[in-house]
């Protein structure tokens, strides 16, 4: 419904009717109409944080790539029929563009903070921010390709798509450590 009609055109009444829930139930779980859209995104960021936290002692950028792939796999498993549709709504609906930038910034900062902590960098250092932004940009590019293709998604392709970015930044981080 949100994908078909758009965020602004979809009423709370239509959402409640489609979900078979009342107003109080809807607001108890989501808090707002935006919460319906952003709630799963926020859970995806938490999955990413957890995957980074549990990454172990592998090279920093290997851990980042594995965490992004693993958290995406969990997001797909949590909502196999709608996870990519949710991205389509977030990425295409003009009413959500401003909020999307703020949410994606949190996602990129999650990666930046992890990289800074693991590599011994200042969390506000340009290199940390560049890595978070580059990984986020590559990730969104893959999601956009998948969303446009409309085919079944193979999450393993994400690993291959992110590898050039993460491998290049690993070389940079190795150089900083030696340097």
Write out the chain's pLDDT in tens, 179 residues: 565 666 666 666 666 676 777 777 767 666 676 677 778 889 999 999 999 999 999 999 999 999 999 999 999 998 888 888 888 888 888 888 888 889 999 999 999 999 999 999 998 899 999 999 999 999 999 999 999 997 778 899 999 999 999 999 999 999 998 76
Q: Are 169 and 121 in contact (CB under 8 A)?
A: no
Residues of 57-82 as b/e, b for ≥16 C-beta within 10 angstroms? eeebbebbbbbbbbbbebbeeeeeee
- pLDDT given for residue 131 in this prediction: 98
Q: Are 112 and 50 in contact (CB under 8 A)?
A: no
- Please state, as a whole number, how many other Cβ atoms lie within 10 Å of the Cβ of residue 4: 9
């Amino acid at each position: 419904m949100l994908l078909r009609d758009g965020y602004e055109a979809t009423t709370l009444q239509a959402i409640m009717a489609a979900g078979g829930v009342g107003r109080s139930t809807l607001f108890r779980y989501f808090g707002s109409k935006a919460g319906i859209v952003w709630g799963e995104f926020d859970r995806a960021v938490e999955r990413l944080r957890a995957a980074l936290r549990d990454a172990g002692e592998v090279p920093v950028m290997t851990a980042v790539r594995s965490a992004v792939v693993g958290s995406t796999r969990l997001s797909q498993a949590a909502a196999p029929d709608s996870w990519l549709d949710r991205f389509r709504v977030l990425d295409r609906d003009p009413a959500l563009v401003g909020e999307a930038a703020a949410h994606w910034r949190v996602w990129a900062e999650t990666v930046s903070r992890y990289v800074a902590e693991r590599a011994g960098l200042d969390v506000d250092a340009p290199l940390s921010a560049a890595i978070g932004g580059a990984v986020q940009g590559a990730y969104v590019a893959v999601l956009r390709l998948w969303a446009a293709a409309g085919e079944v998604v193979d999450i393993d392709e994400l690993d291959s798509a992110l590898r050039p970015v993460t491998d290049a930044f690993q070389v940079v981080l190795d150089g900083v450590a030696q340097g």
